[in-house]
Amino acid sequence: MRILRKRHGGVVVASVLALALSGAPAAWAADQDPPPRVANGLAKTPPMGWNSWNKFACTIDEQTVRRMADAMASNGMKDAGYQYVVIDDCWHGPRDAGGFITYDAKRFPSGIKALSDYVHAKGLKFGIYSDAGRLTCGGRPGSQGHEFQDAKTYADWGVDYLKYDWCSTGTRNAEEAYTLMADALRETGRDIVFSMCEWGTAKPWLWADKVGNLWRTTGDITDKWDGKHGYSLGVLPILDANEPLHPFAGPGHWNDPDMLEVGNGGLTDTEYRAHFSLWALMAAPLIAGNDIANMDEATRAILLNTDVIAVNQDPLGVQGRRVRDDGDLEVWSKPLADGGRAVILFNRGAAPQTIAVNWTELGYPASLKAEVRDLWARTSLGKMKERFAAPVASHGVVMVTVKP
């Protein structure tokens, strides 16, 4: 049996998986934890990078990808930790006579290997996209029946990250399908982060930590604050679906509430700051989804806030969670490796409101003196006891660290 460890705030979430049935060695005493189940030892902190889909969808081509790599390497993003340049759907050509996948020679005339070399020469890593079904969501050839061939092709091209989607899978079993591709990737001997895009349908948080490094927990994000828009969801419903899954995330295996919309124009800067802050605190992958070669100052200041990024990349690797829900007013907390907490005061309401957090809600004694730093004002607020309170804009956050 596997019991997930007691987490911050005294909440015990026990996910009991029948490891006995899955062939785990029988040598542990009953009071011992089983050895950790790891996929491949990669992504010890949430992956950071850029992906083509949210902004470019199927209009992606090699020039655009090169421009994004140039931008990431020179605009501060690389120094801030962004690393993976990932082409999403629609790079594919047909399969050749031997069944190997080719690329769209109109959009990628130099070929995927040359593009990967270009990205690597910038000191960055290269990612690509496929699908566990016969066709990708954009109708290009999927990997079903070609898993080992495709993994070999990706490794030959120098791929460091694979996003693997779930369209056209019919009655396939998700765990089986993702495990098959994970085996194929492992067989190549190359380190390839495995991003599973199954939308949460088969509850991947219950089984995917031994298969890959991140799994989507919801349908697709769209550049809107709230609501459902066709198959896509605004920021708030994704946030609320991803939050309760916090016990299942940890180093090497992350809940993925989908890529960032920061900078795509559908939200206010205040809302984008909230989106970025909450994703960072949930230890979500920070995959920019905008045109990073053409960012205004506000967008740049959000994506390049290294204080907020440090919370996301904290080596303890705990997904933060909501510790208080007063309707429109919420307090979120994430324990950090140094014993501190990252805290978000979040106002969903239509008017500005003051929100307070008590130390006891963070698992600290009220008498504790702790240093409070405002991560958006980027200033220290000094030592405080008992509580911290601040006015919070409508749809906004105040994000601080509280360090004893």
Give alpha helix (H) positions in 134-286: 147-157, 174-187, 235-242, 269-281
Phi, psi of 124 (to 5 degrees): -115, 175
Residue 339 DSSP class: S
Q: Note whether 380 and 335 are within 8 A (CB).
A: no
Nearest-angstrom CA–CA distance, 67 and 71 = 6
Give 137 or 323: the residue with its C-beta nearer to ligand GLA: 137
The residue (of 136 and 217) whose beta carbon lies closer to ligand GLA is: 136
Q: How far is the CA of 246 from the CAs of 37, 184, 211, 322, 333, in angstroms? A: 17, 29, 18, 10, 11
Rounded to an integer, what distance in angstroms lies between the CA atom of residue 256 and that of residue 101?
Answer: 27
The nearer residue to ligand GLA, 86 or 245, going by C-beta atoms, is 86
Question: Cβ-closest residue to ligand GLA?
Answer: 137
Residue 231 Cβ vs ligand GLA, minimum distance, rounded to whole Å: 7
In angstroms, the CA 367 to CA 349 distance is: 31
Dihedral of CA 30/33/37/41: which sign?
negative
Q: What is the smallest separation between the CB atom of 135 and ligand GLA, expressed in angstroms?
A: 10
Q: Please report, as ranges, the residues that interact with ligand GLA according to CB under 6 A.
A: 53, 88-89, 136-138, 165, 197, 220
Q: Active-site residue numbers?
A: 165, 220
| DSSP category for residue 81 | T
Closest separation in Å from C-beta 292 to ligand GLA? 18
Say which amino acid occupies 272: Y
Give min distance, CB of 136 to ligand GLA, in A.
6
| CB-nearer residue toward ligand GLA: 64 or 394 | 64
How far is it, in rounded angstroms, from Cα 187 to Cα 195? 17
Q: Shortest distance, CB of residue 256 to ligand GLA, whole angstroms?
A: 10
